Amino acid sequence: MTTIGFVRHGVTAWNKEGRAQGTTDVPLDEEGIEMAERVADRIEQEEWDIIYTSPLIRAKRTAEIIAEKQLEIDFVVDKRLGEVGGGIIEGTTEGERVAKWGFGWRKLELGFEPEEVIIARGMSFIEDVKQAHPGKRVLVVSHGGFIGRLINVLVPNGEFVRDIGNTSLTVIELQDSKNLCHLFNCMKHLETREV
């Protein structure tokens, strides 16, 4: 059985502004880099065999920071791990979307990546990882929209929220009969520490 640790990238300026990022290549801001360093510190003592990451810079940079703390770990960029395509809403805030398209904007054809395409690429990646790394521990650095959807497919009766926190860690053990979620959306590494 293969274990997958999903990590969402650190925060960006667009995250803070409430702008839809999708496939737009927005970098981590200073706080996002610090968040990535904190999750890297958290999992430094854990044993992971390989890191896969989205090619988008906010995820790739998060993965690079994590990899710096792991001894001689393989690092693979996989385009299937990219964020859900947001069509023409990318770069806009909720207020801007409502002003332009009205409150029903979610029901309009605005070029969103179809749900079945998102799930197909995610499950294609999972199947390849299971074949390539049986019994291994695989870190996957990706995006909130993508990770949230994939978790709900991998653990269908878990009733997990899709709102995944920046640099949160979710650990799923892939099994033949039923996948097990051992940790969900955990951000304890971001808790302030008393000195």
Q: What is the DSSP string of 53-96?
A: E-SSHHHHHHHHHHHHTSTT-EEEE-GGGSPPP-GGGTT--HHH
Catalytic residue among 9, 37, 113, 143: 9
Q: Considering only CA atoms, which of 163, 153, 99, 159 is closest in space to residue 122? A: 153
Whether 20 has a binding-site annotation, put simply, is: no
- Local confidence band at 195 (pLDDT 50, 70, 90 cut-offs): very low
pLDDT (0 to 100) of residue 75: 92
Distance CA 53, CA 142 (A): 6
Which CATH architecture does the domain made up of 2-86+113-190 adopt? Answer: 3-Layer(aba) Sandwich (3.40)
Decide if 83 is catalytic. yes
63 carries a ligand binding annotation: no
pLDDT, mean of residues 86-103: 96
Specify the pLDDT at position 193: 59
Q: pLDDT tens digits for 135-182?
A: 999 999 999 999 999 999 999 987 787 789 999 999 999 998 899 999
What residues form DSSP beta bridges with 3? 137, 173
* Residue 58 annotated as part of some ligand binding site: yes
pLDDT of 118 > 90? The answer is yes
What pTM does this model have? 0.94
Q: Find the catalytic residue in 37, 83, 90, 113.
A: 83
Confidence band for 104, pLDDT divided at 50, 70 and 90? very high
Please classify residue 2 by burial: count the beta carbons closer than 10 Å to its beta carbon, then call 0-12 exposed, 13-18 middle and 19+ buried: buried
Active site residue 72: no
Domain ranges of the chain: 2-86+113-190
Q: What is the CA radius of gyration of the chain?
A: 17
pLDDT per position as a tens digit, 41-65: 999 989 999 999 999 999 999 999 9
Q: What is the mean pLDDT of the chain?
A: 94
- 15 known member of a binding site: yes
Q: Tell whether the model's pLDDT for residue 111 goes beyond 70.
A: yes
What pairing do the DSSP bridges indicate for beta strands 2-8 and 169-174?
Answer: antiparallel
The residues near 11 (Cβ < 8 Å, ≥ 6 apart) are 28, 29, 31, 32, 35, 166, 167
Q: What is the pLDDT averaged over residues 11-36?
A: 97
pLDDT at 133: 97
Lowest mean pLDDT among 80-84, 130-134, 176-180: 176-180
- Residue 159's pLDDT is what? 78
